[in-house]
Amino acid sequence: MAAVSAHEFFVPAGIFYGAGALGRLGGEAAALGRRALLVSGRGALERAGLLGEIAKALRGAGVETVPFPGVEPDPSIETVDAGGRAAVDGRCDLVVAAGGGSALDAGKAIAAMATNPGSVRDFLEGRELSERPLPFIAVPTTAGTGSEATRNAVITNRQAGSKRSIRHRMLVPRVAIVDPALTLPLPPDITAFTGMDALAQLLEPYVSRRCTPLTDALALDGMALVGRSLARAVANGGDIGARADMSLASLLGGMALANAGLGAAHALSHPLGARFGIPHGRACAILLPHVMAFNLPAAREKYGRAAAALGADTAGLSPDDAARAAVERVRRLAEGIGITGGLSRFGVRDGDLPGIAREARGSSLDANPIAAAERDLTALLEKAL
């Protein structure tokens, strides 16, 4: 008799996506609160003046805004704690974050810290949220992190040089507004890095130990979108069709990872980001083909389907060759959008590898389809140097 098991699946209560979705922000915000802490970063959104448009949309719907701008890439414990205080001092009953993954993750954690006493540090170290966070609306302006659909926020401990997640089902954003027009100002390199993060966040959940039929369906469709549109979005940032595909792929990846977890590429990307400053998507792009090659014995059939989704002609190939075609496809996709070279160009040396491998632990590593010991990870990192 076939085994039947129950699965869980969490997503935002409201998802508005596609060109023009931003038009729904004001009404959705007004339904959730009167005063919004408006969290934003330092990226293309601000330079393009889109933040003003977002604030105007909120005010137009009768929602006052308390600005909390300037969230740094890889937001720190201090930034999140300051944001929590700003929300309390500003008497905010809602948090809206607009920006890349850093601004969204900060906003998500700030919404929790506005209602839960203490520092976010406590929650990174394992304390459970006891109070429901303020309602949180995520407005992504990059296509890759999927943070608009996930139940975790990655926060950096600068003193310890480590990145960790605060994670809880109550952290899933109440509403996600995914408007690809907001990604039009992104330069080619950020488009490339975030796009490869989206791909990693589809491929890793797809072969995760915690994958489910729902996450598989999302992941496979998302890969097809990346396969047909990432290179186009990098080559021509104004291609709204390609941008729409990538925004949707990122959203699908977020939903997949929130419910199936990730894998070794993400587990290794965190120490590489915290210690060597390698942008997250770039680290994922460098690691992904090597992690796939390592995982291949446990994921043959699925990699074969991934290869086809990514546009490879797998007709007539053996299962092994079809799986290898997926690895090759990912490698070539990254190269084709200008992501070349390995970890050594960021100052990572042979002697650093065992330490990085040791720090790569936690739920992402646990979800990897093959249990990876420290020596496996060190060998894998050597290939990615």
Token readout for 264 is 């070794």
- With respect to Zn ion, which residue has the nearer C-beta, 197 or 216? 197
**CB closest to Zn ion, residue no:** 197
Whole-angstrom distance, CA of residue 228 vs CA of residue 274: 32
C-beta of 81 vs 148, nearer to Zn ion: 148
Number of shown-chain residues binding Zn ion (CB under 5 A): 1
Residues 6+ apart with CB under 8 A from 381: 268, 343, 348, 353, 356, 357
Only one of the segments 27-35, 181-189, 195-203, 242-250 lies at the binding site for Zn ion (rule: CB under 5 A); that segment is 195-203
Where in 244-283 is the site for Zn ion (CB under 5 A)? none
The answer to whether residue 74 forms part of the interface with Zn ion (CB under 5 A) is: no
Q: How far is the CB of 197 from Zn ion (least distance, A)?
A: 4
Give the Cα-Cα-Cα angle 295, 296, 301 (nearest 5 degrees).
125
CB-nearer residue toward Zn ion: 46 or 197: 197
Among 3-11, 192-200, 220-228, 248-256, the segment contacting Zn ion (CB under 5 A): 192-200
Q: Closest CB to Zn ion among 45 and 287?
A: 287
Residue nearer to Zn ion on the CB measure, 28 or 197? 197
Kindly tell me the sign of the dihedral angle through the C-alpha atoms of 144, 234, 22, 279.
positive
The answer to the question of residue 197 lying near Zn ion (CB under 5 A) is yes
Judged by CB under 5 A, the stretch of 10-18, 113-121, 194-202, 320-328 that binds Zn ion is 194-202
Shortest Å distance, C-beta 369 to Zn ion: 17
Cβ atoms 134, 174 nearer than 8 A: no
Output the smallest distance, CB 284 to Zn ion, in A. Answer: 6
Count of other CB atoms within 10 angstroms of residue 196:
29
Q: Does 359 bind Zn ion (CB under 5 A)?
A: no
Please answer whether residues 226 and 246 qualify as being in contact, where contact means their C-beta atoms are separated by less than 8 angstroms. Answer: yes
**Of the listed pieces 5-13, 37-45, 153-161, 190-198, which binds Zn ion according to CB under 5 A?**
190-198
- Shortest reach from residue 239's CB to Zn ion, in Å: 23
Per DSSP, the residues of 354-368 read HHHHHH--SHHHHHS
- Complete edge-to-edge strand list for the sheet that includes strand 64-68: 14-17, 175-178, 136-140, 94-99, 35-40, 64-68
Shortest distance (Å) from residue 218 CB to Zn ion: 15
> Is residue 283 a contact partner of residue 334, using CB atoms and an 8 Å limit?
no
Instruction: Choose the binding region for Zn ion from 20-28, 193-201, 223-231, 324-332 (rule: CB under 5 A).
Output: 193-201
Nearest distance from C-beta of residue 90 to Zn ion, angstroms: 31
Return the number of the residue (65 or 150) whose C-beta is nearest Zn ion.
150
Tell me the closest approach of the beta carbon of residue 144 to Zn ion, in angstroms.
7
Per-residue CA distances from 292 to 48, 381, 384 (Å): 37, 13, 12
CA 242 from centre of chain = 19
Torsion angle, alpha carbons of 371, 374, 378, 384, to 10: 40
CA atoms of 241 and 190, how far apart (whole Å) = 18
Residues near Zn ion (CB under 5 A) are: 197
